[in-house]
A and B are shown apart, each in its own frame.
Chain A
Amino acid sequence: MNQPDLTAQSVVKRFGDHVAVDSISFEVARGSFFSILGPSGCGKTTLLRMIAGFLEPDGGEIAIGGRTMRGVAPNRRPVNMVFQQLALFPMMSVGENVEFGLARRGVARTERRNKAGAMLERVGLAGAAAKRVDELSGGQRQRVAIARSLVLEPTLLLLDEPLGALDLKLREHMKIELKQLQAEFGTTFVYITHDQSEALVLSDHVGVMNHGRFEQIGTPQDLYYRPRTPFVAGFVGDSNRLTGRATDVAGDRVRVDTGDGWTVEARREGAVADGDAVEVFVRPEAATLSRAGESGSAPHEGTVESLLFDGAKSAVLLRERRSRREVRVALPQTGEFADLRTGEPIAFRFDAARAVCFRVRSDRDG
């Protein structure tokens, strides 16, 4: 791996008694797309604002392109930011918005105009320079905001939930467009979001943040298939969460007794001993259905509670027979179970390798 564009070392930020960012360290490789994913209030915005320079860390060190940023004002950092509400300047035309940063660097007018024009063309807004900002659609404004930053060729582009204000359809579209733009420009992107789908689709690496700390940093696949903390397992993607007690630990396999008559098998993550209170996360697609009474061993039984049709993401909500717990199981793409009826008895199994079991720590909740 070449030299990282962004390094954070034990970065701390406190607001009064509240520790917003609690000794965070991470690196972002040059040219990669890094997302910081977390619920609102987890400290991700604070972290981003420290990278941008709007906040000074109380402790630790942030370096961009190998240079420490301590005491460097936001207007002197090789970093640009795409703001949540975009913050395009309404008093200026689209072209003036894109030229703004160049003008501050003292680039001559004609060169400025050419560069801004070329950049607008690259983001698919050729000839929009003379338009007013409020004449543009949501997606076009988005592109202007990115063009305005990228025209300065920053080492790092920070994006603060820029898709949050868009409607669903456009958001899906802009997601793909952002990924393509990043690949095309090769600029290092640091993207913050609370939307796990955005983080998974866009990023090379994702840091999942909670209570001012990173729970786990990894590729989207890592986070999805190999979550290392209960928080990550619950936050990234959909999961069925079951609580119980470990009854039989053998290697990385654990049998879990839910305490109300149900036993499931799962893969252990971290230390789990016999008798520990544990929680198990099973993704809807890690469970398979079979018709009740059919041959073949499906160990769990239940009744269909409701059908959740959502095209390729369709699922069924089951009520487990003994524990009466609710379980969500993905419907296979084959359309095999398309004729399920509410109230119908059904058998199902969990893929034990894809059901993760964590010991419940008493000092904090998951």
Chain B
Amino acid sequence: MADAAAAPMSGAGWRKALLMSPALAWLALLIVLPHAELAVLSFREQAGLRHYVPSLSHYREFFHEPEYWHTFVRTAWMSIVATFATLCLAFPIAWVIAKIARGRAAAWLFLACMIPFWISETVRTLGWMILLRETGVLPAVLVKLGIVAHPVELLYHDTTIMVGLIYNSMLFMIVPLVSSLESLDNALIEAAYDLGANGLTVLRKIVIPHAAPGITAGCIIVFMLTLGDYITPTLLGGKDSGWFTEQIYTEFITRFDWGQGAAFGFLLLVLSTLIVIAGLKLSGQRFGDVMGRT
């Protein structure tokens, strides 16, 4: 009896395992295994020819060399600013798509946000370079308009990096915002007005609390993308953009110091995790809720 009952159970268990296997294989081969390897690399030091000893030297190196942690803090800070700016710019757009535009108009607006993403990030960023470089479109226009006497170099500034980062992040903020704003009952907004609230109070007391999971989800996605971005800071900020991913690239490819690169990679992982946790704490949201609802 017990065997008869157990047999179909284990059959179902096998089926479940089989269905899960692609995801598990993906997780194991592409996430766990490389990171385990990187962990090993980062926590050892070369003591002689093909001879390695466990050591924290790579991590110590990070804290001893001001340029490293300076870049690290700068990357984090600029990513936070870019996330916040993206949120501020994306919110009105999401509001129009979710609440003001109707039917086809809303679909077209959404499509308009999506179209740039049919082009690769590299090409899109090169587009910005064509617009902003000294011999580019925008400086020429500025000269024509008499705003500046000579063409100015608009590339390789922090602001340029910021513009590129925000541009690349917009869609990932708009999507979760639209879905959370669409679920907001218009009657709640009207009820708040009816009870004497003004636009700002409605935003603060009704709209933002309702959209909080979408806002948090959008911010997490955009922050992660920005922090880990390589192409945009490098192309728009130039060789000395001071982005931490570039630092990692340099360690791995230019200096061939895989140990140091791996340590940096882990530090970036820890940093992004800590900032996301802090963000969730600050906004009073839970990760499961946020990802489940968007």
Contacts and interface: CB of A to CB of B under 8 A. Distances in A.
A262 interface: no
B293 to A, nearest CB: 13
B188 A52 contact: no
B60 to A, nearest CB: 48
Interface residues of B, number: 17
B194 A89 contact: no
B206 A85 contact: no
Contact of B187 (A83, A104, A105, A149): A83
A221 interface: no
B194 A74 contact: yes
A81 interface: yes
Contacts of B191: 81, 83, 87-89
B194 A85 contact: no
Interface string A79-103: 1110111011111100000001100
Interface string B133-152: 00000000000000000000
A10 interface: no
A101 B206 contact: no
Interface in A17-68: 52, 54
B197 A100 contact: yes
B195 interface: yes
Contacts of A89: 188, 191-192, 205-206
A87 B192 CA distance: 9
Contact of B190 (A83, A90, A104): A83
Contacts of B198: 75, 104
Interface string B192-220: 11111110010001100110000000000
B201 A87 contact: no
Interface residues of A, number: 25
A75 B190 contact: no
A87 B197 contact: no
A139 to B, nearest CB: 19
B102 to A, nearest CB: 14
A90 B206 CA distance: 9
A319 interface: no
B201 A104 contact: yes
Given A89-B206, A91-B206, A91-B210, A152 B195 contact: yes
Nearest to B197: A104
B187 A75 contact: no
A88 B206 CA distance: 11
B187 A100 contact: no
Contacts of B158: none
B185 A85 contact: yes
Contacts of A74: 190, 193-194
Given A74-B194, A75-B197, A84 B187 contact: yes
Contacts of B197: 75, 100, 104
Contacts of B196: 75-76, 101, 104-105, 152
A87 B185 contact: yes
Contact of B194 (A75, A84, A88, A91): A75
Contacts of A80: 194-195
Contacts of B193: 54, 73-75
A87 B206 contact: no
A74 B191 CA distance: 10
A73 B194 CA distance: 9
A205 interface: no
A285 B210 CA distance: 53
Interface in A196-239: none
Given A83-B187, A84-B187, A91 B195 contact: no
B192 A100 contact: yes
A75 B197 CA distance: 6
A109 B285 CA distance: 26
Nearest to B208: A91
Contacts of A81: 190-191, 194
B187 A101 contact: no
B23 to A, nearest CB: 34
Contacts of B192: 89, 100
Contacts of B205: 89, 91-92, 100
Interface string B163-207: 000000000000000000000010110111111111001000110
The 7 closest A-B pairs by CB, nearest first: A104-B196, A101-B195, A87-B191, A87-B187, A91-B209, A74-B193, A81-B194
Given A81-B191, A83-B191, 12 more contacts: A52-B194, A54-B190, A54-B193, A75-B198, A76-B196, A79-B194, A83-B190, A88-B191, A91-B209, A101-B195, A104-B195, A152-B195
Interface of A: 52, 54, 73-76, 79-81, 83-85, 87-92, 100-101, 104-105, 148-149, 152
12 contacts: A52-B194, A54-B193, A75-B197, A79-B194, A83-B187, A84-B187, A88-B191, A90-B210, A100-B192, A100-B195, A100-B205, A152-B195
